[in-house]
Amino acid sequence: MKMKRGKPKVDIPSVAMGDIAFNLLIFFVILAQSQDDSHIQWTPAKADNLKGAGYTRVTVTIDKDQKVYLNGQELSEGQLASRIESHLGDAPAGQRKVMLKAHSDCTAAKFEPVIEAISQAGGELVHILEDKKKQ
Amino acid sequence: MKFRRSTKLLVDVPAVASGDIAFNLIVFFLVCASTQPDTGRSQILPKSEQTQQQKEQDEHLTVDLKRNAVLINGDPVKTMEIKARVKAKLAGKSRPDDRVVIVKSADDVPYHAWIEVTSQIEDAGGIITLQLEEERTVDVPQ
């Protein structure tokens, strides 16, 4: 008796699709991390009666080592005002929010020139703080 | 010729979809992590300008912030009393220009203390104006 050989099934292997997607995701997450400020170490100061800060295109951070960052990129205080101005462009009032994430223990010698630069650039300052009640 | 049918069936957990399940779980946790809202306090500051401050200092309320002390028009005040004292000083002043409070901070004042004081001034109806030194000393590491 002769056995008939069946046609070999040709198919794109889809088993690895999940792994490919997973690796792509990790790649884009790492890429995005270089643009945000989640890698900066800082502790927010605490205060009462806080409101939602909303959305902004510009975030200035002063970390625990008193280094200044604009949207996650380190820069000097001297460059700050012009860089904020270029980020804000011609945005109308109400859409010129600049978030300031200053480390709780950073000193006035550091944060006051930063506040001045934000003011000079026409930014609407929002201090990012932590609610005292959360403790 | 007879073939013997095997009665044993291979039972296996389908593993093809586990990659997709992991992917969806990651997306879910990423979305959860990124939507945590920031809370804060907005502060309206007048646009910075270089002016001779002497006349303004005479007219407006001045708060001197030192590392361990707060002075309102030269008088030491406890941190808890700032709001009441500023409110009393600003009583009867309705024009925004009259409600300007000049804040002068020593270089070593920490941010949390500054926020505490300026929050109280704003809650009392004051409009914060910072007075910065024209020059600051910066130590350059060798």
Q: With beta carbons under 8 A apart, name residues in chain A contacting B120.
A: none
Confidence at residue B22, expressed as pLDDT on a 0 to 100 scale: 80
Q: With beta carbons under 8 A apart, name residues in chain B contacting A122.
A: 47
CB contact under 8 Å between B19 and A128, yes or no, is: no
Q: What confidence tens digit (pLDDT) does each residue in B75-104 have?
A: 899 988 999 999 998 888 888 888 889 999
Confidence at residue B96, expressed as pLDDT on a 0 to 100 scale: 81
> Is the CB of residue A67 less than 8 Å away from at least one CB of chain B?
no
Confidence at residue A84, expressed as pLDDT on a 0 to 100 scale: 92
Token couple for B9:
């069936």
Q: How confident is the model at residue B57 (pLDDT cuts 50, 70, 90)?
A: low
Confidence at residue A50, expressed as pLDDT on a 0 to 100 scale: 83
Best of B12, B35, B39 to disrupt the A interface (most A CBs within 10 Å) is B39
Confidence at residue B50, expressed as pLDDT on a 0 to 100 scale: 59
Q: Which residue of B has its CA nearest to A100?
A: B40
> Is the CB of residue B130 less than 8 Å away from at least one CB of chain A?
yes
What contacts B83, CB < 8 A, 6 or more positions away? B120, B121, B123, B124
> Is the CB of residue A108 less than 8 Å away from at least one CB of chain B?
yes
- Backbone torsions φ then ψ of B33, nearest 5 degrees: -70, -35
Cβ-count burial A59-76 (b if 16+ within 10 Å, e if not)? bbbbbeeebbbbbeeeee
Please tell me the total number of residues recorded for chain B in this structure: 142
* pLDDT over 90, % of chain A: 26
Question: What is the SS3 assignment for B114-132?
Answer: HHHHHHHHHHCCCEEEECC
The rounded radius of gyration (Å) of the Cα atoms in chain A is 24
Q: How confident is the model at residue B138 (pLDDT cuts 50, 70, 90)?
A: very low
- Backbone torsions φ then ψ of B20, nearest 5 degrees: -65, -35
Confidence at residue B74, expressed as pLDDT on a 0 to 100 scale: 87
CB pairs below 8 Å between A and B: how many? 128
CB contact under 8 Å between B106 and A108, yes or no, is: yes
Confidence at residue A108, expressed as pLDDT on a 0 to 100 scale: 92
CB contact under 8 Å between A124 and B42, yes or no, is: yes
Q: Is the ipTM of this complex over 0.95?
A: no
Q: How confident is the model at residue B36 (pLDDT cuts 50, 70, 90)?
A: low
Q: Which residue of B has its CA nearest to A134?
A: B39
> Is the CB of residue A17 less than 8 Å away from at least one CB of chain B?
yes
Q: Evaluate whether A102 touches A109 at the Cβ level (below 8 Å).
A: no
- Backbone torsions φ then ψ of A37, nearest 5 degrees: -115, 20
Q: Looking at the domain A46-134, which fold is it? A: Nucleotidyltransferase; domain 5 (3.30.420)
Average pLDDT score, chain B = 78
Nearest to B19 among A19, A62, A118 (CB): A19
Beta carbons within 10 angstroms of residue B79's beta carbon: 12
The least confident of A43-57, A100-114, B46-60 is B46-60
Confidence at residue B142, expressed as pLDDT on a 0 to 100 scale: 45
Q: Give B51: exposed, middle or buried? Use CB within 10 Å, 0-12, 13-18, 19+.
A: exposed
Interatomic CA distance for residues B96 and B106, integer angstroms = 26
Q: What confidence tens digit (pLDDT) does each residue in A38-91 have?
A: 778 888 998 887 887 777 778 899 999 999 999 888 888 888 999 999 988 888
- Domains in chain B with CATH codes: 54-130 (3.30.420.270)
